[in-house]
């Protein structure tokens, strides 16, 4: 989804429930072998489902903004980024980016193609 304002363009990533769904299904399958392991994995999948429904990433011309519902909870100015990477390209599962003072890992619970194109557009510093 692209939201445009005068003189600026903000891109809001569309949620993707693929990763949480696969983890829940894996947990259900594992429950046939080991109930506690299956329950743990499925619970993690349900947690990711909740995160997918509530967390939004918005790319602005100057920073990545993280929202919970409509409330902005963090922002990451691109000028502080050193590197980024999306792990396991056949089926993207993990997004990593490094800032000057910290490292961040996020599960790919958003549209991975739009995520990659936004990263290449706003922060072309990977590999």
Per-residue pLDDT of the chain (127 residues; tens, 9 = 90+): 444 444 468 999 999 999 999 999 999 999 999 999 999 999 999 999 999 999 999 999 999 999 999 999 999 999 999 999 999 877 889 999 999 999 999 999 999 999 999 999 999 874 5
What is the spatial distance between Cα 17 and Cα 75, in angstroms, rounded to a whole number? Answer: 23
**Residue 67 resides in a domain:** yes
**Residue 127 resides in a domain:** no
pTM: 0.84
CATH no. for residue 14? Answer: 2.30.29
Query: How many domains does the chain fold into?
Result: 1
57's tokens: 């990433």
What is the spatial distance between Cα 121 and Cα 127, in angstroms, rounded to a whole number? Answer: 15
pLDDT, residue 53, reads 96
99's tokens: 């800032």
72's tokens: 């902005």
**Residue 79 resides in a domain:** yes
Closest CA to 63 of 99, 31, 101: 99
């Amino acid at each position: 989804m692209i939201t445009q304002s005068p003189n600026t363009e903000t891109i809001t990533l569309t949620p993707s429930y693929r990763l949480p769904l696969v983890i829940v299904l894996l947990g259900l399958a594992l429950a046939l072998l080991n109930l506690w392991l299956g329950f743990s994995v499925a619970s993690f999948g349900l947690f990711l489902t909740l995160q997918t429904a509530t967390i939004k990433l918005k790319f602005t011309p100057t920073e990545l903004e993280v929202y919970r519902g409509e409330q902005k909870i963090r922002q990451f100015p691109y000028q502080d980024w050193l590197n980024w990477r999306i792990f396991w390209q056949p089926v993207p599962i993990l997004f990593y980016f490094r800032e000057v003072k910290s490292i961040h890992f996020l599960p790919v619970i958003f549209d991975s193609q739009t995520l990659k194109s936004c990263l290449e557009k706003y922060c072309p510093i990977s590999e």
